[in-house]
Chains A and B, each alone.
Chain A
Amino acid sequence: MVFSSLLFLYAFLPASLLAYRLCRSLRAKNLCLLTFSLIFYAWGEPVYVLLLAAMAFLDWLYALGIDACRCRGERGRGWLILACVTDLGLIGFFKYSGMVVSLFGNPPAFIRQIALPLGISFYTFQLLTYVTDVYRGESRAQRRYWHVLLYAALFHQCVAGPIVRYGSIERELFEKRAAEIPGGVLRFALGLGKKVLLANPCGALADSLLPTDPALPGALASRSVLGLWLGLAAFALQIYFDFSAYSDMAIGMGKMLGLHYPENFDHPYVSRSATEFWRRWHMSLGAFFRDYVYIPLGGSRRGSGRTLLNLLVVWALTGLWHGASWNFVLWGLYWFVLAAAERWWLRPAAARIPSPVRRPLAHVYLLLAALLGWVLFRYTDLPLAGTVFRGLFGANGNPVTDFQSVTEGKNNLWLLCFAALSATPLWSLLLRRAEEYSAGEGALPGLCRVVVYGLLPSALLLLSTAGLVGNSYNPFLYFKF
C-alpha cells in the first residue's frame, strides 16, 4: 500500500486515525499503531512481515546484550558487531546477492527469485541506529520487544523514510507526545498534492520522452536534444516531488499523532554545490552515513588521503543503498568525484570569481550536475545511459528538436514551470508567512487559518482523489529501496 492510493486515503488512514483517537492510554495508542503498521506492511509483503519482526527481535536481543555487558562494565562491542553482521548480512542477501553473483556469471534461479522485501533499506538502517545508539550510551535498551518492533515497523516511515534515528523518536514514542493536528494535516495534504498533482504528471512526461525500455535503443537514439533535456528535467522534478512528497506525508501523519520525524528535503535544486545538494537531499540518509560511517571512519580529521577514502566509502555506499545495480554505484561515485573536486579544486578556484557571477554560475553548475547524474540513476542499462548522454549533446546524430518533443513541451509547459517554481523555497516561504499571520488574533488571521489549515488541505485531498481515480500512473520511485 502506498500513501497516495485511494485505499490508503479512504480506508486505512481514517480507520487508523479513528482507532488511535479512541485509545486512551499511550500503551493502547502504541499497540494500535503497531497493529496498523503490521497490517500496512503485510498488505504489500505478507511474508516479509516475519522478516521485519525477526530483525526487530534480534536487534532487541542484541541491545539487551549490550545493556547486560554495560552492567558488567564491558562495552558489548561483540553484540554491536553481531547486529551489524546480522542486519547488513540480511540486507545483503535480499538486496545484493543477485548483483554479487552476477559478477561470476548468470545467477541461478533461486537467486533471481529472491524478492526485495519492502522498505528493508529503511528499517534495517533504523534498527542499526537503535543498537548503535544503545552501544554508544545515547539510548536505553528497550525491555519490551514490541516497542522495538513498533519503532521499526511504524507505517509512517517504515517503507520509504525518512530514516528516523531511535534516539530522536524514543521519548515521543514511549513517554510523551504532543499532537499538532492542523500542521500535520497541512503537511500531509501538501505531500499528497505534490505526489499526485506534480510528481505523477512529471513522471508520465519523463517516461514518454525518456523511455527506459532496453528494447528501444533506436527510439532513444533518435530522440531530439530538446526532448531528452525536457525528459530529464521532468524526471528530476518527478523524483524530487515523489520522494519529498512521501516524506511530507510521513512527517504530516507523524505530527498528527505527536511524532516528529526529521526533515528529509530542503529544496535541493537551489543548491550551489554537490555538497550542498546532498545536505538538502535525503537528509536523513546523509545524516545516517555521516554519523554512522563517515565520522566513525575518522571523517576529515586524519589528513587529505584518509578523508578522500572516507568520502569514497560513503558515496559508494550511498549509491549502493539506492539499488542493487552498477549504475547506482556509478551514480554514487559520480557524486563522490564532484564532492571531492569541489573540496580540493573547484571551491578554491571559484573563490577567485566575483560573487555576482559566481552565484548564478554555481546554480547552473549544480543543476547540470544533478540532471546528468539522474541519467545514471534512471538507466540500469548502462549502454542506454550512454545513448542518452550522447543524445543530450546531439552526438547520436539526433535532431535538436522534433515534433513530439515540441508538442509535449507545449502540452506541459505550465506544469513544468509550476513544478520548477515549486522546487524553490517560494511556496514554503509564503506558507510560513501565512502560518505566522494566521497565528494572530482577529478576523483576518482567522480567515487565513481557515484557508491554510482547512480549505487548502481539503482542496488538495479532493484534487488528488480526482488524480488518483483518473490515472493508472502512480508509481513510487523510492518504494523498493
Chain B
Amino acid sequence: MKNRLRVLRAEREWSQAALANHLDVSRQTVNAIENGKYDPALPLAFRIARLFGQPIEEIFDPE
C-alpha cells in the first residue's frame, strides 16, 4: 500500500520523531509506514488522517 505520510510530514516540516510524538508511536513505526514496509491498522490510520485533517483514502492508496 502506498501512502503520502512522508509528503504530509515534509509539508509541515516535522521530523519523524515529531510526527511519532503527535501519534504516540515510536519513530521506527513512522519510518516503517513511510517506507511502505508496514501498513497501519485502522485505529492508527484514523489517528493519522485526523492529525492531517484528511480522509484516510487521501493518505493511503491500496494501488
State whether these chains interact: no
Tell me the A residues contacting B by CB distance below 8 Å.
none
Tell me the B residues contacting A by CB distance below 8 Å.
none
